[in-house]
Each structure stands twice: as structure tokens, then as C-alpha cells.
Amino acid sequence: MNCLPYQSHLYSSMVLNWFSNEMKAILQQVADDNDIVIEKMEVMPDHIHMLISFPPSKAPASAIKALKGRSAYIFLQNHPEIRCSQYWGGHLWSPSYYMSTLGNMSKEVVEKYINDQKYTETNKKPHKGAQ
């Protein structure tokens, strides 16, 4: 297996974009299969921001378990090399997550926050060692 060095910013950017698009499609498929509506989603290099809704009969932990568990299964089936990588430890997602209800803020505020996270991430300057 040939790998380009991590210093190749263009390569890293292309791979990240490809994985990002693939993960968005997988998460959408899992959401559709589990009666979850993804209203907004941004895939970041090391985490994902999502605004989701689901029926009150579904426990929040069940929604997260479906999204994380099934998406990891599908993604790692497509990319067995990642499961075997020493950097991933055989897992795609960490066991933790953060969830909150909209509560006293509007849906528009949350959508703007998610959009701004993507903008902030794309405008970060690379670390000096990564050039």
C-alpha cells in the first residue's frame, strides 16, 4: 500500500473531503433507516456537528447509538485498513457524545453555530510542523 506523506496538504485535503462526503452519506442513510431527521450536519476532521430531530418515543441515547454504531460498521466495512490502523485502535467513534435540546435558543442559532464551525475549521492555519 502506497501512502503519500502527511506533509502533502493537497492530498490530506482531498482525502478528508472524500471521507467527509462519504460519512455524510452514511449518516444520512442511517438516519433515514432509524426515523431520525438530520436538519444540519458538518463533518469536521475529528468530530461531527449535527442538528437532529426524532420522535419523542425514541430515547436520545438510542438515536446516538444508531447513528454512531451503524455508521461505524458501514464505514469500517468500506475501509478495513482503518480498523487495522494502530492510530484508530479498531474504533471509529469515541464512546462519548454531547447532546442538548434547543431549549432557550432558536433552531437558526444552532444552524449558524454549526455553519460557523465549518468556516472556522477551513480557515485555520496549519501547524508549523505540518507544512
Active-site entry in 11, 87, 113, 119: 113
> Under a CB-based contact definition with an 8 Å cutoff, are residues 22 and 78 in contact?
yes
Residue 11: active-site member: no
Classify each residue of 60-75 as buried b or exposed e, where b means 16 or more C-beta atoms within 10 Å of its C-beta: eeebbebbbebbbebb
What amino acid positions are annotated as catalytic residues?
113
